[in-house]
């Protein structure tokens, strides 16, 4: 009884503190989750997560419904991952806090965790890097399934987009698993439009104005044929003499085309323009 | 006796705390193991471990029974490794906790462990990296025994898949031990299908439309022959003029084939198409 | 009642301390925000943020209204990001301080945060690097939308400038997402003026003084034609024999032009100067 | 005397604690050594150390008695090194613990050790890396004395296998000391079998079917000669046209041979097949 | 009243300590600023900051008034930056000290700062590196506006010298922003003098003594012409046969010229010496 | 007097503790020095330091008296360096311990040392790496003065072996100072024996069996001449066709020679074998 | 008065401690300075600083008075820099110690210093590396003003030797500022002697013995001419056939010369030996 008198208040205070701890944990978790919601989901009129909005100095092109839906879904998934992490961390700390209130000495736990954290941290930094890179690449919508991309370690068509790795398939059908943290820059050939670039080698002494005229006529004719016309979205452009090297002269022709069609158009143009030059009597590197 | 009166409650409280510590350790260990189970094993309908599921934007191809069994077994093994680690860590901390309750000063132990942890951590980060990379590559099922892969440091057929190293055998029969942490990207040539790519050099002035027609006929005929027909899974495609360089013109032909058969098909097509061009009277780079 | 007598002062003191803590937090936050304002916004006559002003040894060219507006807007945005960070940090610390005053043991929270901080810090350093680099590149106004830049990983026209990534589109129409932290140096071809450089190969034994005279006449004539005259902003310069290698002799001609027009001018000059040399009877690498 | 009454229990308690400390140290050391024994030595039927067993998905080939003995000896040595380390660490901590019980302030010792540990840890990480890599390469039995290996920095025959360095002798007789931590991947040409690969250049226009037939006949005859027959362990294979480049056509022939004999077989086959092609009237790159 | 008696001394002591703290802060700041003054400004007769003076084993050339003024101004600016940092740090610490005296628990503040410091420190190390490198490059006066420098990432004329970045403009008119921390070595072509180096290719079998004599005569004549004479500051030197390679023989001629004029002189000499060799009947690589 | 009664025991106890501290320091130092002795000096019959002995799987060749003496002297020097370090560390810690006993607050000293240690540790890691690498390279006796070695950054004859740097002189007489930490692998051409390798180019269509026979005869004769016989330690070996490339065929001949003589033998053999092939009527690449 | 009785002893003790602190600081500083003196200055008969003496296995050549004076001066300067650092550190710690005795709470100061130290330490590691490398390169006397050195980032004549940077001037007159920490190895061409190496290309089928004899005669004659004789310090050596490649045969001649003269001698020998071969009727690569 007297024990109760003596220890009662202490116990009551302890219980109070534990309750307070749990309450704060719940509140903090709620606030952090709302913050995540605001940052990643965004309201319907401002798609891009808040934290990434500032200073993108040019307005994005009008996005199709498909893309905006993809973005919304991605932001939702990332948000759900972040929320799991927040729940784990907040309740973990609250758990340790409660142990303290129960009179346990938590120093060993914290120190052990610290040592483990540092020891593994060194080795796991690539993992963290991969996930963080993946998260940002998704939020920034750098590429989607089906895009033709150059990720550095490999080039091809995107097969799947993951938080840790991106999978692409190259022209040989090989599937490449690329860790997101290893992707230092992304080249996406499937955004908005593409430009078909055709370089044609001429011999020294070739009549340049005639060559230019012949190319101009040939390429204009070529892009109006049925097969190419659907892909071309702007008038072709004979840029002129691109290079003068000891090996010869190079003329360049460019055409703006639908994204993903540049390689087919380039092949078709090469097959058309080489004979055109021949017919016009331009020496095409044949008399080396 | 009076000693007992004086010290009894303290001892009783100590014993209580030790019991509590052990109880919490057992509970935490149980919870963590269940978490590992959920993450790595998955129920039968959702094979892929939970943590890796989000944002793989394309549904995986239907997997054969073999592959799903392999995955299940892998996840089980990784889970068992992780559980050993959890057991080790949780009981290690509980052990130190009990020492504290017995009145031992654990600061030296923790500090020594910390120093050791940091000192070795620097050197061991490659090891940790290897194991973590291996674990994830397994969970993501990037390759299995028998696949032909390009791991960066070496290219060949996978002989064994380990947590720290992957073993492959290249075309010279050399066995390569590659540390998983050194694998920045994986190119797997044995997934789903492959594409046989044949590049054929033509001389300048070759008649391109004729060459294209001749190649088309020859490749169509070739893939219907008994030996190749079994490997080919789609119609061949004469892509056209791939490159125009000072050295000459290059035509490209591609055929979609069963994975692993692309090299044999390429060799067979080269042996068929070169004579076909000769017969069609196309100048094949012979008059340099 | 006696409890109140005993604990009242303690409680009062605690409340006082909490109030003091919050007051200090508000004051510190206010001071830091004003500091940020002073550093990033600047008064109207000294556009460049204070911290970057010293030791830029040459006075900047007079900037158009557009550029100064862009700068002001950028500085404002960066300032607003920094202020959010300051608010977050200052109130976070105040929150922990208040927890202490309420008698909570905050050591576990701090230690957990420390472990998390270090563990993630390793992996997130690229992220921090990206943001810091982006912030400084913006403050220094290294490039804006529409500039043609060489960022190292990719070269092309800037599409958008962000805190973490810069987006550019290259000559093939490919969009490149370059992380700001990967940009070790920036080459901006659209600032102030550009120089069109044309290298022309001559054969050994070519009459050098005649070649020089012929080039001089041809280039002077060329830059006075209607199409080029608008781009050229200074007299052309025939520099002379740039290289003597076993492959031949190289003459160099340069013209100062409006930024962004150097490539068009170069192409036009090549098309003009090659025939000019031919007409002047200079052997142009034709008799290898 | 009264001093004794006063201090006796304290001293007794101290002595008790020291004894307890030493006891725990001995027990922990014993347990850790047994763990090492279990992990590295293994019972007679499961040679491979326990920790490395999981997920090697393919059963190892039956190993000769020599290899298993080598493994057992290696595991024993590594175990003995690890046990020394364990003894050193456990008794070192116990020593510091005892100092505490004697009333010494151990903080300076621990801090000094920590500073030294970190300061040296930076520089010594290569050393730790070398030893850890060496330990794992041994446990995994990646190569043994006499194997022909490609370690990256050097290629040759292994002369000795050490924990920190591996020594190999290359074809010039130069001895290479390679630090184990610098070995990112190992290529071992002496495991199981090897494949002799012979590439033969043909001229454009060579009759490919005839060439193939001639090579097939020649290689079959060659591998049945007395000298080669002992090395060859499978029928030779004329793979076909390996490459078509502007320089010419390349045919490839492969033979599976005993490990270490691939270079001799390749040289012998080259000497046989070149004349065979000549005799068959195939143009072998002679009319460039 | 009795409260005052009880707490008065404590309060008085606290106020005393706060005053002492502020006093010490002011004194330490004063001393550090004076130290900075001494190190960076230097007295009028010893321009170079004290810390950089030792062990520059050669006396610097007499510096023009312009350079010394530039140095003085740079040192002053760097000193002012350092002083701001010192003020910020000293008063920051004093502020925290005063908080302690007011009975606040500053541990959370310090720990938070520590975590932030480490977390950001990883990412910001490039920034710190840039500023420190810039500071030292300025103090050492490695280059100034207008110098032609090779910084590694880019080569050109210095446009501005900053603490974080150096801006240069290359021969194409492209402006390069180079981070000072990325500059591993600086090559300055505008200090004291430069050497024009002209390499001339000769054919095998050319008469070497005659070629040498002809070059000697031609170069002596060339450097006395009006245009070049102003740039040349020493007699030209025909070094002789610089290289004998399978491609031919190379003769080298050098002339010491005013800094920044080496390229113009080289071009002029090439244009003079090639015809001179022709006239002397030396075979100049023309009969390959 | 009463002060003495009060403080006497405390002082006595302090003095006792100081004495105990010093005693322990002396004992620990003695033990560590004995450990160093055992590890580095070794008894006379087991030269190699204990820690490096395990797992060198091949017995070292019998060492000359010179080498063993060199090793013993090296081990002695390293041991003496390590002992100085041990003395410094042990007495430094004891000094701080004594300060504590004197009632000084050592926390500032330790913290300052820690900060300095970390701050400098980053920059000094190369230094530590150099010394540790040097120490191990010496213990392992990778090379000695006079050996011809390839250290990576430079190749030449060893002039001196130091703890931080190794000095070698290359074939141009240039002296190279190589930091030991930069040496990733060592190639020593002066150990045991060397192999002279001579590659001879043949034209396509050369009679391979005849060429082989002619080479065999010529090399056998050559190695029996007086000048070479002293260097050759085994019969020469005509390996056969080493390479078949579009450039031609390469035959390889090898001879085992005394270390350091391989280059002279190679030069002599080249001068002998080329004419021998000519005499035998083999086309030696002369009709390209 | 009673206050004095109460606090007097405490104050007296405090004053005593402060005095003790300062005394210890002075003594430690004195001891460390003496240690530095002993390590860097050395007595007159043992020039090299003590710490670098062990294990330089070869006795240094007799040094001229100039060199020893240079060394002594360098060691003195480094010693004075180190002493300043020691003074700064020791008195800084003593200052903090005294603050403690005055009852100040120094934890914030130390923590702030720690955070700053780590935060800046990351960025400043290059600086520390530069200074440490410079210090050691000086102590080891790797090069002096006027030496021709290859530092890696640049090659040329040393203009000045500094603690942070070394300045060299290359053959184009460009001045290079190289940070000492970036110098991984130093190649010094001005120590003791140099070797002039002349490689001469011969055609296939050239008469090798005759060529050897002709070269031998020509080089012997050449080195006896007045101009060269002063530079040559040993008999020339016709090494023989250095390389046999598809491009031709290479003969090598070497001559030991005074340091710094190797390039002039090489040029002179090339100019002499080419005609000598011509006269002897050796085909010198002229009939390609």
Q: Do strands G248-257 and B148-150 pair parallel, antiparallel, or not at all (unpaired)?
A: unpaired
Task: Using an 8 Å CB-CB cutoff, list chain A residues near C124.
Answer: 128-129, 132
Q: Do chains B and D touch (3 or more CB pairs under 8 A)?
A: yes
CA–CA separation, D267 and D250 (whole Å): 17
Q: Pick the residue with more confidence: E190 or B76?
A: E190
Report the pLDDT value the prediction gives residue G61, as an integer from 0 to 100. Answer: 47
Residue B37 DSSP code: I
DSSP for E172-201, written as a single string: TS-EEEEEGGG--EEEETTSS-EEEEEEEE
By Cβ distance, the residue of F78, F177, F285 closest to G246 is F285
Select the residue from E100, E119, E154 to test the C interface by mutation, using most C Cβ atoms within 10 A.
E119
How many CB atoms within 10 Å of residue C8? 10
What is the signed CA dihedral for G125, G126, G131, G137, rounded to 10 degrees?
A: 120
CA distances, A193 to each of A138, A231, A262, D96, G31 (Å): 21, 10, 9, 71, 75
Look at chain C and count its residues. Answer: 288
For chains F and G, what is the number of CB pairs under 8 angstroms?
Answer: 179
- Find, among D72, G184, E287, the residue nearest to F126 by Cα: G184
* Order of strands, sheet of E194-202, starting from the edge strand that comes earlier in the sequence: E194-202, E248-257, E237-245
Structure tokens that stand for D197 in this block: 């690969």
CA distances, G107 to each of G92, G111, G114 (Å): 15, 6, 10
* Order of strands, sheet of D248-257, starting from the edge strand that comes earlier in the sequence: D194-202, D248-257, D237-245
Q: Which residue of G has its CA nearest to E205?
A: G286
Task: Using an 8 Å CB-CB cutoff, list chain F residues near G140.
Answer: 162, 164-165, 177
Report the pLDDT value the prediction gives residue A60, as an integer from 0 to 100. Answer: 45
CA–CA separation, E123 and C132 (whole Å): 8
Report the pLDDT value the prediction gives residue G124, as an integer from 0 to 100. Answer: 79
By Cβ distance, the residue of D21, D55, D204 closest to B163 is D55
CA–CA separation, B224 and B255 (whole Å): 12
In the three-class reduction of DSSP (H, G, I as helix; E, B as strand; rest coil), residue A283 is classed as: coil
By Cβ distance, the residue of G80, G105, G120 closest to E100 is G105
Condensed to tens digits (0 to 9), the pLDDT of residues E240-255 reads 898 887 778 899 999 9
- Distance, in angstroms, between E60 CA and closest chain C CA? 23
Q: Which residue of E has its CA nearest to C242?
A: E267
A partners (3+ CB pairs within 8 A) are B, C
CA–CA separation, D219 and D224 (whole Å): 9
Task: Using an 8 Å CB-CB cutoff, list chain G residues near F154.
Answer: 185, 187
To the nearest whole percent, how much of chain G has pLDDT over 90? 25
Half-sphere exposure of B58 (CA within 13 A, CB side): 15
0.85 surpassed by complex ipTM = no
Interchain proximity B123–D127, CB inside 8 Å: yes
Any idea which architecture F143-188 has in CATH?
Answer: Roll (2.30)
- Distance, in angstroms, between D200 CA and closest chain F CA? 7
pTM of the model: 0.86
By Cβ distance, the residue of G173, G271, G285 closest to E195 is G173
Interchain proximity D123–F127, CB inside 8 Å: yes
Look at chain D and count its residues. Answer: 288
* CB contact at 8 A, F58 and D160: yes
Domain C194-279 has CATH 3.90.1150.10: no
Report the pLDDT value the prediction gives residue G215, as an integer from 0 to 100. Answer: 92
Ranges under pLDDT 50 in chain B: 43-63, 287-288
Q: What is the mean pLDDT of residues G75-85?
A: 83
Q: What is the mean pLDDT of residues C168-176?
A: 93
* CB contact at 8 A, F80 and G50: no
- Find, among D6, D85, D9, the residue nearest to D40 by Cα: D85
Residue G41 DSSP code: I
Q: Pick the residue with more confidence: D122 or D280?
A: D280
For chains A and B, what is the number of CB pairs under 8 angstroms?
Answer: 179
- Distance, in angstroms, between E272 CA and closest chain G CA? 20
Interchain proximity E212–G271, CB inside 8 Å: yes
G partners (3+ CB pairs within 8 A) are E, F
Sign of CA dihedral B25, B26, B29, B34: negative
Burial degree of C215 (CB within 10 A; 0-12, 13-18, 19+): buried
Q: What is the mean pLDDT of residues G158-177?
A: 91
Which ranges of chain A would DSSP assign to H, the alpha helix? 2-36, 65-101, 107-139, 208-224, 226-229, 262-279
Q: Same CATH fold, E194-279 and E143-188?
A: no
Q: What is the residue extent of each domain of chain F?
A: 2-123, 143-188, 194-279
Task: Using an 8 Å CB-CB cutoff, list chain G residues near E117.
Answer: 115-116, 118-119
Q: What is the mean pLDDT of residues C54-74?
A: 56
Mean pLDDT, chain G, integer = 81
By Cβ distance, the residue of A103, A105, A178 closest to B185 is A178
Task: Using an 8 Å CB-CB cutoff, list chain F residues near D177.
Answer: 137, 140, 142, 185-186, 188
Inter-residue long-range contacts of E167-171, CB under 8 Å, 24+ positions, other chains counted: E170/C187, E171/C195, E171/C197, E171/C254
In the three-class reduction of DSSP (H, G, I as helix; E, B as strand; rest coil), residue E212 is classed as: helix
Ranges under pLDDT 70 in chain A: 1-7, 41-68, 119, 284-288
Question: What is the tally of helices (H) and strands (E) in chain E?
Answer: 6, 8
Condensed to tens digits (0 to 9), the pLDDT of residues A171-224 reads 999 999 999 998 989 999 988 899 999 998 888 778 888 889 999 999 999 988
Interchain proximity A188–C182, CB inside 8 Å: no
Q: Pick the residue with more confidence: G50 or B203?
A: B203
Interchain proximity A212–C271, CB inside 8 Å: yes
CA distances, B76 to each of A189, B40, B48, B58, B86 (Å): 41, 7, 12, 25, 15
Interchain proximity C177–A142, CB inside 8 Å: yes
* CB contact at 8 A, E168 and E142: no
Select the residue from D105, D123, D166, D183 to test the F interface by mutation, using most F Cβ atoms within 10 A.
D123
Residue G38 DSSP code: I
Q: Which residue of F has its CA nearest to D282?
A: F205
Of the pLDDT bands very low, low, confident and very high (cuts 50, 70, 90), residue E67 is low
Match 């080493």 to its residue by tokens. F242
Q: Pick the residue with more confidence: G109 or F157?
A: F157
Report the pLDDT value the prediction gives residue B21, as an integer from 0 to 100. Answer: 86
- Distance, in angstroms, between E111 CA and closest chain C CA? 7
By Cβ distance, the residue of D89, D124, D131 closest to B116 is D89
- Looking at the DSSP bridge assignments, the partners of residue G197 are G254
Residue A225 DSSP code: S
To the nearest whole percent, how much of chain E has pLDDT over 90? 26
To the nearest whole percent, how much of chain B has pLDDT over 90? 25
- Distance, in angstroms, between C82 CA and closest chain A CA? 12
Task: Using an 8 Å CB-CB cutoff, list chain C residues near E271.
Answer: 208-209, 212, 240-241
Q: Which residue of F has its CA nearest to D284?
A: F204
Condensed to tens digits (0 to 9), the pLDDT of residues D4-60 reads 666 677 777 778 888 888 998 899 899 888 888 877 765 444 444 444 444 444 434
Q: What is the mean pLDDT of residues D137-163?
A: 89
Interchain proximity A119–B124, CB inside 8 Å: yes
- Distance, in angstroms, between A194 CA and closest chain C CA? 4
* CB contact at 8 A, F178 and F165: yes
Interchain proximity C197–E171, CB inside 8 Å: yes
By Cβ distance, the residue of F109, F120, F267 closest to G239 is F267
Region of residue B152 (left: phi > 0; alpha: psi -120 to 50; beta: else)? left
* CB contact at 8 A, D206 and D274: no
Task: Using an 8 Å CB-CB cutoff, list chain C residues near A209.
Answer: 271, 275
By Cβ distance, the residue of A137, A184, A244 closest to C274 is A244
Of the pLDDT bands very low, low, confident and very high (cuts 50, 70, 90), residue D253 is very high
DSSP for C266-286, written as a single string: HHHHHHHHHHHHHHTT---ST
E partners (3+ CB pairs within 8 A) are C, G
* CATH code reported for the domain at G2-123: 1.10.287.1260
Rounded (5°) CA angle E135-E139-E140: 115
Q: Do strands B155-161 and A248-257 pair parallel, antiparallel, or not at all (unpaired)?
A: unpaired
Residue C257 has pLDDT above 90, yes or no: yes
Condensed to tens digits (0 to 9), the pLDDT of residues E70-84 reads 777 777 778 888 888
Average pLDDT per 10 consecutive residues for chain F, totaling 288 residues? 66 82 90 83 48 44 58 78 86 83 75 73 81 87 90 91 91 93 91 91 83 92 86 91 83 92 92 87 64
Report the pLDDT value the prediction gives residue D94, as an integer from 0 to 100. Answer: 85
Mean pLDDT, chain E, integer = 81
Report the pLDDT value the prediction gives residue D197, as an integer from 0 to 100. Answer: 94
By Cβ distance, the residue of A120, A242, A246 closest to C247 is A246
By Cβ distance, the residue of C74, C118, C160 closest to A117 is C118
Condensed to tens digits (0 to 9), the pLDDT of residues D106-138 reads 777 777 777 777 767 777 788 888 988 998 888
Condensed to tens digits (0 to 9), the pLDDT of residues E192-201 reads 899 999 998 8
Residue G266 has pLDDT above 90, yes or no: yes
Interchain proximity A96–C108, CB inside 8 Å: yes
CA distances, G265 to each of G199, G222, G254, G256 (Å): 13, 10, 10, 10
What is the signed CA dihedral for A133, A136, A137, A140, rounded to 10 degrees?
A: -160
In the three-class reduction of DSSP (H, G, I as helix; E, B as strand; rest coil), residue D62 is classed as: coil
Interchain proximity F114–D111, CB inside 8 Å: yes
Condensed to tens digits (0 to 9), the pLDDT of residues C67-78 reads 667 777 777 778
D partners (3+ CB pairs within 8 A) are B, F
- Find, among D70, D87, D91, D83, the residue nearest to D35 by Cα: D83
DSSP for D211-272, written as a single string: HHHHHHHHHHHHHHSHHHHTTB-S--EEEEEEEEETTEEEEEEEEEE-TT-HHHHHHHHHHH
Q: How far is CA E107 from the centre of its chain?
A: 42
Report the pLDDT value the prediction gives residue B47, as an integer from 0 to 100. Answer: 47
CA distances, C164 to each of A76, C149, C191, F7, F161 (Å): 21, 17, 23, 67, 49
Half-sphere exposure of B182 (CA within 13 A, CB side): 19
CA–CA separation, B250 and B204 (whole Å): 10
Averaging pLDDT over each range in C3-7, F93-97, G103-107, G116-120, which range is the top one? F93-97
A62 phi and psi angles, rounded to 5 deg: -60, 130
Look at chain E and count its residues. Answer: 288
Residue A249 DSSP code: E
Structure tokens that stand for D82 in this block: 């690890």
* CB contact at 8 A, E106 and C109: no
CA–CA separation, D207 and D202 (whole Å): 9
Q: Which residue of A has its CA nearest to C269?
A: A241
Q: Considering only A77-91, C236-250, F4-18, G162-176, which range has the smallest mean pLDDT?
A: F4-18
Of the pLDDT bands very low, low, confident and very high (cuts 50, 70, 90), residue E47 is very low
Q: Do strands D155-161 and C248-257 pair parallel, antiparallel, or not at all (unpaired)?
A: unpaired
* CB contact at 8 A, B55 and A163: yes
């Amino acid at each position: 009884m007297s024990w109760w008198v003596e220890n009662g208040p202490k116990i009551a205070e302890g219980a109070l503190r534990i309750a307070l701890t749990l309450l704060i944990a719940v509140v903090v978790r709620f606030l952090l989750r709302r913050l995540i919601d605001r940052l990643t989901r965004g309201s319907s009129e401002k798609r891009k997560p808040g934290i990434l909005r500032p200073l993108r100095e040019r307005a994005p092109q009008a996005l199709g419904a498909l893309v905006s839906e993809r973005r919304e879904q991605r932001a939702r998934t990332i948000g759900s991952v972040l929320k799991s992490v927040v729940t784990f961390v907040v309740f973990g700390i609250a758990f340790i806090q409660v142990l303290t209130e129960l009179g346990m000495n938590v120093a060993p736990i914290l120190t052990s965790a610290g040592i483990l954290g540092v020891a593994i941290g060194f080795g796991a930094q690539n993992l963290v890097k991969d996930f963080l890179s993946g998260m940002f690449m998704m939020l920034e919508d750098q590429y989607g399934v089906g895009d033709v991309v150059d990720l550095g370690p490999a080039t091809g068509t995107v097969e799947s987009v993951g938080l840790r790795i991106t999978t692409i398939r190259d022209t040989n059908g090989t599937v490449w698993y690329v860790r997101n943290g290893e992707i230092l820059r992304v080249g996406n050939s499937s955004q908005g439009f593409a430009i078909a670039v055709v370089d044609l080698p001429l011999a020294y002494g070739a009549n340049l104005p005639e060559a230019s005229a012949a190319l101009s006529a040939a390429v204009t004719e070529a892009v109006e044929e049925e097969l190419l016309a659907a892909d071309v979205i702007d008038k072709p452009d004979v840029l002129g003499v691109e290079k003068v090297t000891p090996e010869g002269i190079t003329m360049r022709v460019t055409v703006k085309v639908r994204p993903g069609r540049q390689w087919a158009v380039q092949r078709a143009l090469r097959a058309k323009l080489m004979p055109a030059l021949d017919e016009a009597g331009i020496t095409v590197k044949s008399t080396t």
